[in-house]
Amino acid sequence: MIRSVTVPAAGVPFKNNAAYCVGTGRMGLALQQEYLDHLDLVQEAIRFRYIRGHGLFCDDMSIYRELDSPEGPRPYYNFTYLDRVVDSYLARGIRPFLELGFMPEKLKSGEQTIFYWKGNVTPPNDFDKWEILVEHTLAHLAERYGHDEVATWPVEVWNEPNIGFWAGTMQEYFHLYEVSARAVKRVDPRIPVGGPAICGVDTEHWLRSFFSFVTENDLPIDMVTRHCYAANQPRREGFYVHHSLRKNDIMIDELRETRQIMDDYPRIAGLPLHITEFSTSYVPRCPVHDTVYNAAYIARILSEAGDYADSYSYWTFSDVFEEADVPISVLHGGFGLVGLESIKKPTFWTFAFFSRAGGELVYRDENLIVTRDGDRYAIIGWHADATTDQSAEPISYNLRLPGLSSPQCLLLKQSVGGKHANPLQTWSNLGKPYTLDDAQRRILRASAEPLQRDEKLFAREDGWLEVSVSLPSNHLCMLEITPVEDRTVTYAGFDAREHYGLE
Amino acid sequence: MIRSVTVPAAGVPFKNNAAYCVGTGRMGLALQQEYLDHLDLVQEAIRFRYIRGHGLFCDDMSIYRELDSPEGPRPYYNFTYLDRVVDSYLARGIRPFLELGFMPEKLKSGEQTIFYWKGNVTPPNDFDKWEILVEHTLAHLAERYGHDEVATWPVEVWNEPNIGFWAGTMQEYFHLYEVSARAVKRVDPRIPVGGPAICGVDTEHWLRSFFSFVTENDLPIDMVTRHCYAANQPRREGFYVHHSLRKNDIMIDELRETRQIMDDYPRIAGLPLHITEFSTSYVPRCPVHDTVYNAAYIARILSEAGDYADSYSYWTFSDVFEEADVPISVLHGGFGLVGLESIKKPTFWTFAFFSRAGGELVYRDENLIVTRDGDRYAIIGWHADATTDQSAEPISYNLRLPGLSSPQCLLLKQSVGGKHANPLQTWSNLGKPYTLDDAQRRILRASAEPLQRDEKLFAREDGWLEVSVSLPSNHLCMLEITPVEDRTVTYAGFDAREHYGLE
Amino acid sequence: MIRSVTVPAAGVPFKNNAAYCVGTGRMGLALQQEYLDHLDLVQEAIRFRYIRGHGLFCDDMSIYRELDSPEGPRPYYNFTYLDRVVDSYLARGIRPFLELGFMPEKLKSGEQTIFYWKGNVTPPNDFDKWEILVEHTLAHLAERYGHDEVATWPVEVWNEPNIGFWAGTMQEYFHLYEVSARAVKRVDPRIPVGGPAICGVDTEHWLRSFFSFVTENDLPIDMVTRHCYAANQPRREGFYVHHSLRKNDIMIDELRETRQIMDDYPRIAGLPLHITEFSTSYVPRCPVHDTVYNAAYIARILSEAGDYADSYSYWTFSDVFEEADVPISVLHGGFGLVGLESIKKPTFWTFAFFSRAGGELVYRDENLIVTRDGDRYAIIGWHADATTDQSAEPISYNLRLPGLSSPQCLLLKQSVGGKHANPLQTWSNLGKPYTLDDAQRRILRASAEPLQRDEKLFAREDGWLEVSVSLPSNHLCMLEITPVEDRTVTYAGFDAREHYGLE
Amino acid sequence: MIRSVTVPAAGVPFKNNAAYCVGTGRMGLALQQEYLDHLDLVQEAIRFRYIRGHGLFCDDMSIYRELDSPEGPRPYYNFTYLDRVVDSYLARGIRPFLELGFMPEKLKSGEQTIFYWKGNVTPPNDFDKWEILVEHTLAHLAERYGHDEVATWPVEVWNEPNIGFWAGTMQEYFHLYEVSARAVKRVDPRIPVGGPAICGVDTEHWLRSFFSFVTENDLPIDMVTRHCYAANQPRREGFYVHHSLRKNDIMIDELRETRQIMDDYPRIAGLPLHITEFSTSYVPRCPVHDTVYNAAYIARILSEAGDYADSYSYWTFSDVFEEADVPISVLHGGFGLVGLESIKKPTFWTFAFFSRAGGELVYRDENLIVTRDGDRYAIIGWHADATTDQSAEPISYNLRLPGLSSPQCLLLKQSVGGKHANPLQTWSNLGKPYTLDDAQRRILRASAEPLQRDEKLFAREDGWLEVSVSLPSNHLCMLEITPVEDRTVTYAGFDAREHYGLE
C-alpha cells in the first residue's frame, strides 16, 4: 500500500528535544577512555546538550570521606574525579544534568544496594550531613566553573525512589528532596531543582503525593522528572533478559497523562517535564537494544514526545556500562547508542537523524515526519515491526512537496536496516566474536554506517517536488532535500559523454 | 551470460607489484599539507613502497645555487626542502624512487620549458657541474639517512627524453646518463641506477640504442624504465582534454614487447623493468581519470602486468598537481587516486583491492582474478565498458572454490560503481561546486566509500564454496572469504527470535 | 644602577595592539604544512586576529586566468587555492587582512618583477579587468564566507608603491587605488579599504599627495596604512645582509609624525592607522632577526606604538618565506617569529608576553612596563644592547606595587636571553647544522623555551608588594603576579619537614 | 670538596635494567584515559618494556564469573576488559608482566581483603577452578595475541604472600604456585613462570623454603621475584604517612644477599632475579615520592642494581592509583613517576636519564656514573640529602674524559632540583590547589621540565675533555657529550659580531 501525501507549504514548530539530554552509565565510568571515545562519537553526530546518570555520590567517585580525628570523624570532600569528569564533559560541549545519589558508604543507614556495582540505596544516616554534602558539592562546582555556568545545570533529587532504588519510604524521599533542594538553592537560587525521578510504577500516586508535598511546604521546584520504558514482562535466559515491547505510542500516552496530572497543581502546571530516562527495555542485556527494530521504535517516540516533554533522555549513549556486570561481548543487548569498540548501533542514527530535523513540522504520521528549515527538507521515516521474520510489507509513500528556491535539488538518502547500519547482523556473520581483532573492527565499524545514496531531484513544471519513500520492515531512513545551483555550464568544454555513465 | 568457473586448489605465485611504486606531482608540492593528507590516505589503505615524480632539481626545490664571489660564481647546495620532503616520505613509510631532473636555472643551456610550472628541459650548460650536483645530492642523502637506506632508493636518469621533456639529442641524453650513473655509483655502488625513462614514442629505436650504448660503454645499469599510457589522440575542449582509451590489454602487450627487446641484450636481459609512469590518459584534465571506467580499466592491467614488469607506478596518487595549471575544481580530470579535498576516486579502490590480494593466483581471466592467502580468498572483478551509456550487460560468474578451514565463512563484498564510490556522480548531483563547503565535503567523502556488504557463506556438503559475482557495466568489486568460528552456542540464552530479523 | 619605582594604584588604558595583525610570506606558502604548523604555534601562544602578506593575485595562487575562445581570451577565476588558504586561516582563528597584489601574468603591462619568486609589479594592462578581478574575488569570498564575515576583512591596495614594488607612477597608483576601492565597495560598503601602503621613503610627499587625491576625488577610505623598518644601511656579505639598527624609539617618532600629517586632512584625521609591516631589518637574511637583541628591541616598540597606531603587523610570523630564495638553513636571519623546524625565536616571546599584558598601564619607561588586569600584574622588561659583546651593565628595578586581593601571591618569571630561549646560540653550539635530525630538533626546540621560575611573594605588612627585576644585556622578561589562596592548612597532617627542601 | 676523576678509555658493560619493567596500579585502572595519558608520557621518554601490577583477577576486571544452570553454577570467563587493557599496552610498546591475583569473588574462601578497592586475598575455595582459570586466561591470550608473543610475557604467582596479601599459610602459597605454574606451562612451556613475589619480611626463610619446595617437587621455575622498599617505620598523620628512608645502598645489599641465597640451590642459581616492586616508601601517601630527594635516591639504585637483578620495577609509573583511596589532590605523595594532570615528578627524570645511558660503564661512584655509547658520553649525577634543610654542601667533580671523534663537542646539561623540575615546590607556590585550572596546569607542567643548558665543549690540546659537575643538595643531573661538526665556515659571510652576543 502506498500512502500519497501532499505536504503543505507551512507547518507548525517542531518541538524536537531529541538532543536535549542523554543518559550515561555511572559517573565513575566517565574516567574511561572508551567512554570518552563514545562520547566523542555521539557529540560529533548528535551534539547532546546535557548528560545524566547515576553515581555522583557513589564511593568510586570518592567525594564524601571522613578523617579520624581526636574529636571524632571529620568529613572532607574529594573532588579529584568529579572535576576530571566535568572537565571532560565540558570539553565535549555537554553539560551535566546532575542526579543526587546514591549514598556514600559513610552516610548509609543500611546495607541495601543495587546493581553489580553495589550502589547503596539507603537514606542518609544523618540528613544534615547529606545536606552539607549537597551544598558543598554544588558550591565547589560553582567556584570552579562559575556561578553563571552552574546555574544552567539542572539538579534531580535521587533516582526512582518508587522502586528498589530507595530503601526508605515515600515520606523519607520527600524529606530528602526538601533538604537537597534547600542546599542547592543556597548555592545559587538559579540552579533548577526537581524530582521525583520515578519510573512507571505507582506513578499517579507518587506524582500527586509529591506535588502536594512540594506545594504544601512551599519547596523549590523548577521541573518535574520521571522515567518511561516500553517493555513488557521480561524472560530471563542465560546471559540475556528478553523483552517484548508495548505498542510504540504507549510512551506518548504516558507523557500526556503526566502532563494532565501536573495541570491539577497550579505550582506545577507548566513546569518543564523532563523524562530523565527512557528506552525500550530497561535491562542492559536485552538484545532488542541492538536491533534496527529498536531504532525504528524510538523514532516514533522522538517524532512526537516533544509535544509533551521538554526532554527525553535516552538511556544510554554508550555500552560502557556495568549495572548488570561488565559486558561479555562487543554486542550484548546493552543500552547504548554506541556499542563496545565504538560500534554505532542502529538507534545512534535515530538520534543523528532527528538532531538534523528542521524546525518546522509540515507533515507527521505514525511512520514519517517531514520537516523543513527554510530552504531545506528533512524527512525521517521508520517502520518498526515487532514480528521477527520481517515478513511485513514495506510502507511506501509518494510525497508531493512545495518546491525550494531552485528547480534542481539534491536528494540525499540514508537508510538503516537489512544489510546496512546493522552491526548486529554483521557481528553475527563474523561468528559473534567476544572482542574484535583489527580486521573485524574495521569491517564492523564500516558496516555500521547507513547506506548513503544521492541523486538529482528536479521540480516538476508546476514547481512541486515528488519523492517516494519505501520503508521495509525494521528500517529507518532520512531524506534530505536541498536546492542546488548547477554550475555545469560554467565548465568550458564539459561533455557528459566523456564521463562513461555520468547521469 | 554467466561464466561458471571451478577454481583449482593450487595456483601459481601472483606477481603483484601494484603497491611497489606510485607517481606524484613535482617534488615541491610535497611541502603542501593537502598533498600530505592525501599521502596519508593512500598509505593507510594501500601502503606503497616507493614514490616517484619530477622536479628534484627544479628551482622551487632550490637545491642548486651559485653565490657570487671574486673568483666567479661558486655553486652551493640547499637541501632545506629536499630534507623536509624526504623526512615526510619516510615518516609515512614510503621511499623516494629518485628521478634526476629537470635543469636548474643556473645550469640550463636554453629556455625550453615544460608545464605550467616551467620545468627547464635543456641539457646542462656544464656536464661536470651536473655530475657534481648529482653526486653531492646523493652524498648528502646518504649522510643524512644512512648509506644502507639510500642504497635501496633507485635512481632514474631524467624523464621521457624521447619527447618534449628533453631539448637535447638522443646522444646528449646518453651522455647525461653516463655522467649521472657514474656520479651515483661514486656515492654508493649499491644504489640502483637506470633509464631511459621513455614514453611510448619511437620506443624500440630508443630502447635498442640505449641498450647498445650502455653495453658498449660498459656503463652501470641496474634497471630499465619506461612509461605506458593507454590513450588515443586527444580532443581539446575548453578546460578539458578528452581521450578515448585503447583496448585494455594494450599495455600488457607493450610490456611483453619491451621484455622481448631487453632479452636481445645479455647485459640487459633479466634486469628489473620498472614502468615508472602509467595511466589511461596522459593529461591531467581528462575526465576519464575520475570515472569508475578508469578504475575497472586499470584493474585489468594490475591483474597481469606483474608477469612482465617489476613495478608499474600509477601516475599519480593525488590531484595535488600543477602540470596543467592549478586545478580549477574539486574534480577536474586530474591524474590522482585522491581528488582535492581528500575525495577518494574510484581507482583508489583498484589499488586498495589489489594491495590486499593473496600471494597465490588460482584463477585469472580478463575480468576476474581469484587469489588466495592460505586460508583466505581475495577475489577482484572488474567490468570496464568504454561505451558511455552503460548499456552493456553485466558480466556474471558462478565460482566454485575449494573450502577453507571452517565450513562457515564470512563473505565480505565491496563494490565500486553506480551510486557508490562514484564521487564524480555525487559531485555532479551537488551541482559541480568548484570548492566544497563543510556539508558538501561530508557528503562527498562518505559517497566515495565502496558499498560494503557481508554475509554468511556455508560450504556445501561436498566441502566446496559457491559464490556468484555480478559485474555491471563500469563496476569494480572485491570479495573476501575468510573462515569463521561461530561462537553462537557459547552465548547462554541466545535466541535468534529476540533479534527481530537477524539472519 | 637600580631604579626604584613606586607603582600607582590606578593607571591608564594600555593601548596594546600587539596581537592585532601579523605579517606572512606570500599567500601561496600558506598551502605548506610547515607554514601551518608555525601558524598553530603562534596562534596557540599569541592569538593574532589578522594576517597580512603579499601574493593574493600572483600566479602561484592561480586566481586570474584566461581561456582561449573564438571571441578572444575569456577571463575566468580559479579560487581553489584561495579558498583552501582562507579556510585554513579561519580554522586557526585568524582573518585575512587582504593586500591587493601583485599583477597576474595575463594583466601585466611589463616585465618588472620583485623577489626570488618574481612577483610582477607593473600596472595592469587593463584597469577595467583589474577592477573586475578585485570585485569578483571579494564577491566570491562574500558568497563563501558570508557578507558579515568578509565585512570585517580590511583591504589594502597594493604594497609599497613608493619603491620598487610598483613600476608605475604615483598617479598610476592613485588610479589603481580608485578602481580597487570602488570594486571593493560594490561588493559590500562595509569592507574597510585603505592605502597607500608605503614604506619609509619619501613618506611625507606620498602621504600628503594620497590624502589630497582621496579627498579631492571623494574616494572611499577607511584606514591609512604604511610600513616602518628600523634598519640602517645594509652591508651585503655572502649569504647575509647585515644591518645595524637605529635608536629604538625611532619608530615611535615616525608614527607620531604620520599622525600629525593625517591630522591636516579632515577626512583622514582620526582614521585608523595600520602599520601593515614593521620589523628591525627589512631583509630576510639579516641575523639580527634571530637574536634576543631583536626581541628586546621590538618590546620597546610594542610598549608604546599603540598610542599612535591601531595595528603594527610584525613582518613576519614564520621563516617559511621565500623572498630572498628558499632559506638555506634552520636559522638564517629570516623575518619569522618561528624559525624552520618550528623553532621559536626570541621575538616570539615578545609577542607572547605582550599578548598577555593587562588592560591597564600603571607604569612605563623605556625598559619596562607594568600592566594590570584587575587582580593580576603583568610586568614586561627588556634590555636591548646594540653592542655585540654584551658588556653593558644589567638594568635593575626595585618595584613597589599596591597589593592584590590576597597577601600571598605567585610570582611567575619567564626570561629570554643568555642560555635560555636563545636558539641561535644553541644552534651554534650544535655546529650550525643546515637541517636538523631528530635529536637536534628535540634539543633546539626545548632550548627555545624561556627560563621559567616561580616563587611565593608575600605582601609586606603595609600591604605593598616588592619585586626586583634584573635585566642583563639583551634580555627580555615577563613577571606575572597573581593572588594565591593557600590551602596548605586544609591538608591534614601536612608537614613541610617531610618534603626535603620544600620552601 | 671537589672530586677529580680521570675517566679511562675502556670500561665494562653497564648492566642497565632501568627500563625493563615498571609498576602500575591495579589493572582495572588501565581503562582510564588519564592512566593512558601517563603511560604515553613515560613511553615517549623512557620506553619501558614490561608493566606489572595487581588486580588481573579482581572483580572489576570481571574475568571469572559463574552462571546459574540446572546443573549448578557454570564458570565462564569474560575477557572484555582484559583484551582492552592488553591492546592498549601493546599499542604503547609495553608488554604485560602478569601477576596472578587476587581472588575472584566466586573463588574466595574468606572475606579478608586489602586496600581501599578491597582485593580479596584468601586462597581459592577450589584449587582446581583456580588452575582452570589460570589456564583459560593464558590460553585466551595466546589465541588472541599469538603463542610467540605470549611466550615472552613472564607470569608471577600472587603478590607478597609473606604478609597481609595472603590469608593462607606458606604451604598454601606453595600449593597455589604449583597449580598455577602447571597451568601456565600447559598453555605454552615457553612462558616464564616464577615467584615467590615476597616483600622484605622474613625474607630468607621464605626464599629458602620456596626454593626447597620447587626443587623437591621438580616444579617449573624460570625466575625468582621479590620486592624491596627502603623506608623506615611510618608515622601516620592526617592525610599522610611519613617515612624516612634507609641508607641508599641498602637495597643493593639486599639484592646481593638474595643472589647469595639463590646460589645455594643448583636449580635456582643463575635464574633471572626480578625485583617486581621497589621504591622508597611503600605507602602512596608519603610526600617523599614527590621530591627531588627521591629522584636522587633512586638514581643511586639504578646505577648499580643491574649488577644483581635482571629488573627492578619502580612502583609505579603513575599516580592514577587507588590503593589508599582516590588521590585527594594533584600531588599527594603518590607512588607515580607522573602525578595527576600529567605532571612529571622528579623521579620521572631519573628513569628518563638512565634510559639514555650508554652501554659501557667507564666510571661509577656513589654519586655519579659516566657511561659511553661509542662516540658519545652520558653522565648522570645525583645528590640525595636526607636532611630537609638542604644545607649540605654541593658535591663537585672535575672530570677528565678521553676525547671523542671531533675536537668540538656539544655539552648538553639537564638538571632537576631547586627551582626546576620541582613541581612539588611550584604546586606549593600555587597554593597547593586540589585540582588545577588551565593556567595552573600550564605553569605546573612547564615547571616540571628539567633546566636544560647547552654549550660548546672543546677538547684540550692533548685531546682530553674536561667537564665539571656540581651537584647541590637534592639534585639530579644528566650531561651528554656528543661530537659536533662545526659548519660555521660553510656559511659565506657569517660574522659573529652581527649576532649581538653569540658565543
- Residue C139: other Cβ atoms inside 10 A: 17
Task: Judge whether C452 and C483 are in contact, CB under 8 Å.
Answer: no
**Global pTM?**
0.97
Which range has highest mean pLDDT (B251-260, C144-153, C226-235)?
A: C144-153
Separation between Cα atoms, residue D154 and residue D220, nearest integer Å: 13
> Predicted confidence band at B387 (pLDDT cuts at 50, 70, 90)?
confident
Could C88 and B327 be called an inter-chain contact, meaning their C-beta atoms sit closer than 8 Å? no
How many domains does chain A contain in total? Answer: 2
CATH classification of the domain holding D371? 2.60.40.1500
- Please list every residue in chain D whose beta carbon sits closer than 8 Å to the beta carbon of residue C408: 431
**Chains in contact with A via at least 3 Cβ–Cβ pairs below 8 Å:** B, C, D
Q: CB atoms < 10 A from the CB of B178, how many?
A: 18
- Choose among B385, B455, B495: nearest Cβ to A429: B455
Mean pLDDT of chain D: 96
Task: Count Cα atoms within 13 angstroms, Cβ side, for C307.
Answer: 14
* Shared domain check, D365 and D339: no
C-alpha distance from D310 to closest chain C C-alpha (Å):
29
Which of A131, A135, A277, A480 is catalytic? The answer is: A277
Chain D, nearest residue to A88 by Cα: D33
Provide the grid cell at C352. 607572547
**What is the tens place of the pLDDT at every residue in B63-83?**
999 998 888 899 999 999 999
- Which residues, in sequence order, are CB contacts of B148 under 8 Å at separation 6+? none
Provide the 8-state DSSP code for D330.
Answer: S
B501/A429 CB distance under 8 A = no
H or E element: which one contains C381? strand C377-383
- Write out chain C residues lying below 8 Å of B88, CB-based: 33
Q: Is residue C323 part of a domain?
A: yes
> Does D24 reside within a domain?
yes
Catalytic residues of C: 160, 277
Give backbone dihedrals phi and psi of C4, rounded to 5 degrees, phi first.
Answer: -100, 125
What distance in Å separates the CA atoms of residue A268 and residue A400, rounded to the nearest whole number? 43
Beta strand pairing call for B360-364 and A74-77: unpaired
What's residue C249's pLDDT?
A: 84
Q: Look up cell 608477469; give the residue.
A: B307
In this complex, which chains have at least 3 CB pairs below 8 Å with chain C? A, B, D
State which residue of chain A sits closest to C77, comparing Cα positions.
A490
**What's the CA gap between D491 and A429, in Å, rounded?**
66
Would you say D382 and D295 are in contact if contact means Cβ atoms under 8 Å apart? yes
Judged by CB atoms closer than 8 Å, whether chains meet at D33 and A326 is answered as no
Among the partner-chain residues B67, B326, B437, the one whose CB lies closest to the CB of C80 is B326
Residue A493 lies in a domain: no
pLDDT at A203: 94
End-to-end CA distance of chain B: 30
Examine the domain organization and report whether C375 and C318 are in the same domain. Answer: no
Question: Are B78 and C437 inside 8 Å of each other by CB?
Answer: no
Domain membership of residue C413 (yes or no) is: yes
Give me the catalytic one of B131, B160, B341, B480: B160
Instruction: Note whether B495 contacts A433, CB cutoff 8 Å.
Output: no
To the query of whether residue A156 is one of the catalytic residues in this protein, the response is: no
Tell me whether residue D496 is in a domain: no
Are D435 and A144 inside 8 Å of each other by CB? yes
User: What SS3 class is residue D195?
Assistant: strand
For residue B164, the distance in angstroms to the closest alpha carbon of chain C comes to 23
Based on the fold, state whether residues A126 and A244 are members of the same structural domain. Answer: yes
Whole-Å CA distances, B236 to A97, A257, B241, B424 = 64, 72, 4, 20
Provide, as residue numbers in chain D, all residues whose Cβ is less than 8 Å from the Cβ of C433: 487
Percent of chain D's residues with pLDDT above 70: 100
**What angle, rounded to 10 degrees, do the helices at C127-145 and C170-187 form?**
30
Q: Which residues of A touch B455 (CB under 8 A)?
A: 419, 429
Residues of A with CB under 8 A from a CB of C: 67, 69, 74, 76, 492
The answer to whether B237 contacts A493, with C-beta atoms less than 8 Å apart, is: yes
The model's confidence at residue C69, banded by pLDDT at 50, 70 and 90, is confident
Q: pLDDT above 70 covers what percent of chain C?
A: 100
Question: Closest Cα of chain B to D30: distance in Å?
Answer: 27
Q: Which residues of D touch C451 (CB under 8 A)?
A: 451
Contact D377, D479 (CB under 8 A): yes
pLDDT above 90 (res D317): yes
Considering only CB atoms, which chain B residues are within 8 Å of C83?
Answer: 434-435
* Residue A304 and residue A398 share a domain: no
How confident is the model over D30-54, as a mean pLDDT?
98
For residue D184, the distance in angstroms to the closest alpha carbon of chain C comes to: 43
CA distance B492 to chain D (A): 9
* Claim to verify: residue C364 and residue C482 sit in the same structural domain: yes
Domain co-membership, A365 together with A348: no
Asked if D238 and C425 come within 8 Å (Cβ–Cβ), the reply is no
Pair (D379, D410) in one structural domain? yes
Return the ∠ at Cα B347 (arms to B345 and B353), rounded to 5°.
120
Q: Known catalytic residue: A160?
A: yes
Residue D461, C-alpha cell as written in the block: 690540546
Range of the structural domain that residue A446 is part of: 2-10+360-486
Is residue C502, in this structure, part of any structural domain at all? Answer: no
Domain boundary among A355, A379, A401: A355
Encoded amino acid at C480, one letter: E
pLDDT in tens, D230-269: 999 999 999 999 999 998 788 999 999 999 999 999 999 9
Q: How far apart are the CA of D329 and the nearest CA of chain A, in angstroms?
A: 6
In chain C, residues with a C-beta closer than 8 Å to the C-beta of B76 are 328
In a domain, A57, yes or no: yes
pLDDT higher than 70, residue B40: yes
**Beta strands per DSSP E along B106-146:** 113-114, 119-120
How many whole angstroms separate alpha carbon D213 and alpha carbon D209?
6
The DSSP H or E segment spanning A216 is helix A203-216
Number of neighbouring beta carbons within 10 Å of residue C279 = 28
B292 contacts A431? CB cut-off 8 A: no
SS3 track for A123-162: CECCHHHHHHHHHHHHHHHHHHHCHHHHCCCCEEECCCCC
Walking along chain A (503 residues) 10 residues at a time, the average pLDDT comes out as 94 98 98 98 98 97 93 94 98 98 97 93 98 98 98 98 96 98 98 96 96 97 97 93 90 94 96 98 97 97 97 98 96 98 98 98 98 97 86 93 98 97 98 97 98 98 97 97 96 89 86
- Based on the fold, state whether residues A329 and A417 are members of the same structural domain: no
Exposure b/e, B93-121, CB count within 10 A at least 16 = b: ebbbbbbbbbbbebbbeeebbbbebebbb
Q: Which residues of D are catalytic?
A: 160, 277
Within-domain flag for C493: no
Q: Which of C355, C390, C423 is the last residue of a domain?
A: C355
Do A491 and B432 count as a contact with CB atoms less than 8 A apart? yes
Shared-domain flag, residues D338 and D404: no
From chain B, the residues in CB contact with D67 under 8 A are 492
Summarize pLDDT for D476-493 with one digit per residue, the tens.
999 999 999 999 999 999
pLDDT > 70 fraction of chain B, expressed in percent and rounded: 100
In chain A, residues with a C-beta closer than 8 Å to the C-beta of D74 are: none
Q: Which of B34, B83, B326 sits opposite C62 (nearest CB)?
A: B326
Tell me which amino acid residue B495 is: D
For testing the chain C interface, which of B31, B32, B118, B140 should be mutated: the one with the most C CBs within 10 Å?
B32
Which backbone phi and psi does B288 adopt, to 5 degrees?
-55, -35
For the packed helices D127-145 and D80-91, what is the interaxial angle rounded to 10 degrees?
50
The separation between the first and the last C-alpha atoms of chain C, rounded to the nearest angstrom, is 30
Q: Do A62 and D144 touch (CB under 8 A)?
A: no
- Contacts A33 to D, Cβ<8 Å: 31-33, 36, 88
| Pairs across A and C, CB distance < 8 A | 8
Cβ distance of C425 and D503 shorter than 8 Å: yes
pLDDT tens for each residue of D358-397: 999 999 999 999 999 999 999 999 999 998 776 789 999 9
DSSP per-residue string spanning A427-496: HHHTT--SS--HHHHHHHHHHTSPEEEEEEEE--TTS-EEEEEEE-TTEEEEEEEEE----GGGSTT--G
How many degrees, rounded to 5, is the angle at CA D116 between CA D115 and CA D122? 40
**pLDDT of A351-397, one tens digit each?**
999 999 999 999 999 999 999 999 999 999 999 998 877 678 999 99
What is the number of other CB atoms lying within 10 angstroms of the CB of residue A408? Answer: 15
On whether both C301 and C392 belong to a single domain, the answer is no
Measured in angstroms, the CA of B347 and the nearest CA of chain A are apart by 14
Nearest to C434 among B33, B80, B435 (CB): B80
Cross-chain residue pair D429–C454, CB shorter than 8 Å: yes
Q: What is the mean pLDDT of residues C23-47?
A: 98
- CA B153 vs CA A471, B141, B180, B270, C65: distances in Å: 57, 10, 15, 20, 39
In angstroms, the Cα distances linking C285 to B7, C196, C319, C331 are 69, 27, 10, 9
Predicted pLDDT of residue C390: 67
Contact B435 C84 (CB under 8 A): yes
Per the CB < 8 A criterion, the answer to whether B325 and B116 are in contact is yes
- The 10s digit of each residue's pLDDT in B271-326 is 999 999 999 999 999 999 999 999 999 999 999 999 999 999 999 999 999 999 99
Element (H, E) at A163: none
Asked whether the beta carbons of residue D325 and residue A84 sit closer than 8 angstroms, the reply is no
Q: Which residues of C touch A (CB under 8 A)?
A: 67, 69, 74, 76, 492
Chain C residues lying within 8 Å of B62, measured CB to CB = 325-326
Q: Which three cell numbers stand for residue C112?
A: 618588472
Active-site hit among A99, A131, A160, A178: A160
Does one domain contain both A29 and A137?
yes
Q: CA of D329: which chain A residue's CA is closest? A: A80
Nearest-CA residue of chain D relative to A240?
D67
CA distance C65 to chain D (A): 41
In this prediction, residue A390 carries a pLDDT of 67
How far B31 CA lies from chain C's nearest CA (Å)?
5
Say if residue A21 is in the same domain as residue A40: yes
CATH number at residue A67: 3.20.20.80
Q: Which residue type sits at B47?
A: R
Residue C15 burial class via C-beta count within 10 angstroms: exposed 0-12, middle 13-18, buried 19 and up: middle
